[in-house]
Structure 1
Amino acid sequence: MQQLETRFQKYYVREYLPSLMSNVTSNDNDASVNPENWASAGQLLFSYNDHRPFTDRIVMAPLQVGLIYCIILTVLQLALYGKLHGEIAKVLRPKHILIYRLLISWATFFFLSLGFCTVSAIFRIDFTPAFGKGGFVVYWMSTWLVMLAVGGANENVLSLIIAYCPPYLSIWLITWIILNISSSFYPMALNNNFYRYGYVMPIHNAVDIYKVIFLNLTKRKMGRNYGILVAWVVLNTSLMPFCMKIAGKKNAKECHASRGSCCRCLSW
């Protein structure tokens, strides 16, 4: 809008106003023209009326950088439980291991999301613009759903990477962060068409939800946003048994090769 105002000012001052003045001064009644009116006519400015003023700069933290930490936290919980998963895999059957992995990851994300949202509350971010006193709960449950969507993908992919090529773990993490964040910082209408893939990324939908919570924007897209996040959770949960099976076979082969005896190994 400011660029449009600048272009309009240049056109008005350099072309339109001189042409108008030449037409008026060529008239016989040019003596009746007030010079002060000409001076004020050269200052044609736009007036701005912001119906959604943005004054709380601290909201930028959960809307941008905080989402990067959200992705990183889902990876840290995998590293935290790595050895525990390995020990549990020795005593449980595959079906029970799957249930155990789902329960522990969902429970961990539940409390991680609470801690993540509590940090925003400590900095006195206002959660009430859209949902009143229930804004914090909406923010908490939304963050939990985001962590399930992002963390489930991390858990599946990292299980395969650790089994086959551990050095590429950091490459996946950086790629996953870039794919999510690059399409989320700016409105999709202002981005290049290349970033339209962001419509299906978890973080982009999380940003849309957070903008409703913190800035009281329109709620008409929230159904789609939550639907995409739920779809990610369902997809990750459906792929988890296959990823565990593939990684488990790889680990079992390495276990047999190193020990020369039968042992049960599953991915962490």
Structure 2
Amino acid sequence: MYLKVVGVGVGAMVVLMFAVFSIYWGALWKVPTRNFAGWVVDFDGSTVGSAVVQALLSSSVSSSGKVSWTNRSASEFPGGVDDVAGAVVDQQTWVAVVVHPNTTRLLESAVLSVNASYDGSVALTAFAVEARNENAYRVLIRPSVEATLNAVTIGIAKSFVKQVGSAYPEIIANISTTAPQILAEPVGYTLDNLRPFDVPVASAMTFVGLIYVLVLAFFIVNFSAAAREMSGLETSLTTWSLIFLRLASSFISYFVLALFYSLLCLAFQVDFSRTFGHSGFVLFWMLNYVGMLAVGLSLEAMLTLLTTRFVGFYMIFMIISNISVCFMPLEVLPGIFRYGYAFPFYNVSGAVRTILFGTKNQLGLQFGILLAWMGVSLITLPLFQWWFRSRDAAKAAVARQSGEEDS
């Protein structure tokens, strides 16, 4: 019997490993499966602008970069460069490169006047938002953008030196001595990280800490189940009273846990006032409260269906399926991972980024999805509890009838 139980347990874990762990392995297997969307916007409208646009569009086809570039007309952004930056923050694209107005004219003027103060790095600006997904920014977007722009600017410099040597042979020596940067870097770039991920401890709230939240909910579910058994309330209460007890216990417990989880983050000097002022902390607290209820009530409902012996399998599934969609953007994962848009961790992580870093505000949608998870559990938990009570009552009636017939 011992070997049978242990053997079945090991076999179940092997099945779980291949069925559930493969979700996370699959999320990291071939990243990215598709390129990030990138814009190039030419506000120069002249020689340099055209060269940069053509070079970036060509790089999308010929290189192994992680960004696919699309040319967007400057007329789409009446507010100029600021409008492009705003579009990046609004998550309309992952990265945008702009060629600033009058870049060609300023470069030509610098050549003719041999301007020693000319700075080519202000010709181009690449906008991106690290806080949208710090892993994607650090591992994929920034290295790819820098490598591409380095290649583009070096190519422009080589061509420019030939043009200057041919058109202005009489001043090329003077430029080389007085303003060599005009030849070395006629066009450079600056990478503008519009929303830096500059709170390292935030990683706990947007990724790893979400696992701990689910584990805390699992403990609450088990503590509550043990309390009902030890106190006798599991069998002495009516069905609807038991349902009310389970729900009330969850709502009260997670309210307290969410508060102290939020205070723990505050104790490590996380600034919640960046985006929403003093209400930022309360918003963060309510986000954690609703997030805990979303996963905790789901565990509470499945406990009734799976019992304490097997609910741990469901918890592992919840951890793996949720965390798999938080490490990298869903846009560059295989299409099957689009389920993440409707899962709790993805929405909690996105909401935390908005509160802490001021990324695109989708709090209404994110809270709505978490509330939807709560709503499903508020339906399934009473149904499961009623069904099990009805089944147990039917079994008891059959047992009594059998006993009466025997007597």
Q: 1:261 to 1:45 in 2, by over 3 A?
A: farther
Tell me which of 378, 382, 391 is aligned to 1:241.
Answer: 382
Answer whether contact 1:77 1:108 (CA < 8 A) is retained.
yes
CA–CA separation in structure 1 for the residues paired with 2:296 and 2:225: 14
CA–CA separation in structure 2 for the residues paired with 1:210 and 1:28: 56
Larger Rg: 2
Answer whether contact 1:180 1:203 (CA < 8 A) is retained.
yes
Q: Mean Cα displacement is larger for which, 194-203 or 38-47?
A: 38-47
Tell me which of 279, 282, 286 is aligned to 1:141.
Answer: 286
CA deviation after TM superposition for structure 1 residue 12, in Å: 4.3
* Structure having the larger proportion of residues in strand: 2
- Is 2:303 the counterpart of 1:162? no
TM-score by length of structure 1 reads: 0.82
Answer whether contact 1:160 1:246 (CA < 8 A) is retained.
no
Q: Which residue of 1 aligns with 2:359?
A: 217
The SS at the match of 1:186 is: coil
Q: Could you give the per-residue CA deviations for residues 156-209 of structure 1, whole angstroms, max 9, x where no partner exists?
A: 12322227xx2x433322210111112123333444433211111111111122
Superposed counterparts of 1:63-78, under 5 Å: 63-78=206-221
Tell me which of 196, 199, 211 is aligned to 1:53.
Answer: 196
Q: Could you give the per-residue CA deviations for residues 56-86 of structure 1, whole angstroms, max 9, x where no partner exists?
A: 2122221221111111111000111222223
CA–CA separation in structure 2 for the residues paired with 1:211 and 1:68: 17
Superposed counterparts of 1:1-268, under 5 Å: 1-13=142-154, 15-22=155-162, 25=165, 27=166, 30-34=169-173, 35-36=176-177, 40-43=182-185, 44-86=187-229, 87-162=232-307, 166=309, 168-219=310-361, 221-248=362-389
Q: Mean Cα displacement is larger for which, 232-241 or 38-47?
A: 38-47
Number of paired residues?
254
CA–CA separation in structure 2 for the residues paired with 1:127 and 1:179: 28
CA deviation after TM superposition for structure 1 residue 92, in Å: 0.9
Answer whether contact 1:5 1:45 (CA < 8 A) is retained.
no
Answer whether contact 1:63 1:211 (CA < 8 A) is retained.
yes
Point out which structure has higher relative CO (alpha carbons under 8 A, 6+ apart). Answer: 1
Q: Mean Cα displacement is larger for which, 188-197 or 177-186?
A: 188-197
The SS at the match of 1:90 is: helix
Q: 1:253 to 1:121 in 2, by over 3 A?
A: farther
Q: Mean Cα displacement is larger for which, 246-255 or 142-151?
A: 246-255
Q: Which residue of 2 aligns with 1:266?
A: none
The SS at the match of 1:217 is: coil
Q: 1:47 to 1:137 in 2, by over 3 A?
A: same
The SS at the match of 1:49 is: strand
CA–CA separation in structure 1 for the residues paired with 2:348 and 2:289: 11
CA deviation after TM superposition for structure 1 residue 229, in Å: 1.2
Q: Mean Cα displacement is larger for which, 105-114 or 170-179?
A: 170-179
Answer whether contact 2:254 2:289 (CA < 8 A) is retained.
yes
CA–CA separation in structure 2 for the residues paired with 1:28 and 1:208: 54
Q: 1:21 to 1:123 in 2, by over 3 A?
A: closer
Q: Mean Cα displacement is larger for which, 48-57 or 209-218?
A: 48-57
CA deviation after TM superposition for structure 1 residue 252, in Å: 6.7
Q: Which residue of 1 aligns with 2:74?
A: none
CA–CA separation in structure 2 for the residues paired with 1:143 and 1:246: 31
Structure 1 runs (4+) greater than 6 angstroms displaced: 250-257
Quote the sequence identity (%). 24
Q: 1:134 to 1:30 in 2, by over 3 A?
A: same
Q: Could you give the per-residue CA deviations for residues 97-145 of structure 1, whole angstroms, max 9, x where no partner exists?
A: 1111111111111111112111111112111112222222111111111
Mind listing any 5+ residue stretches in structure 1 that lack a counterpart?
A: 263-268
- State the AA in 2 paired with 1:120: C
The SS at the match of 1:47 is: strand
- State the AA in 2 paired with 1:71: L
- State the AA in 2 paired with 1:146: G
Answer whether contact 2:224 2:249 (CA < 8 A) is retained.
no
Q: Could you give the per-residue CA deviations for residues 211-236 of structure 1, whole angstroms, max 9, x where no partner exists?
A: 122112232x1111111111111111
Q: 1:23 to 1:211 in 2, by over 3 A?
A: closer
* Structure having the larger proportion of residues in helix: 1
Q: 1:90 to 1:184 in 2, by over 3 A?
A: same
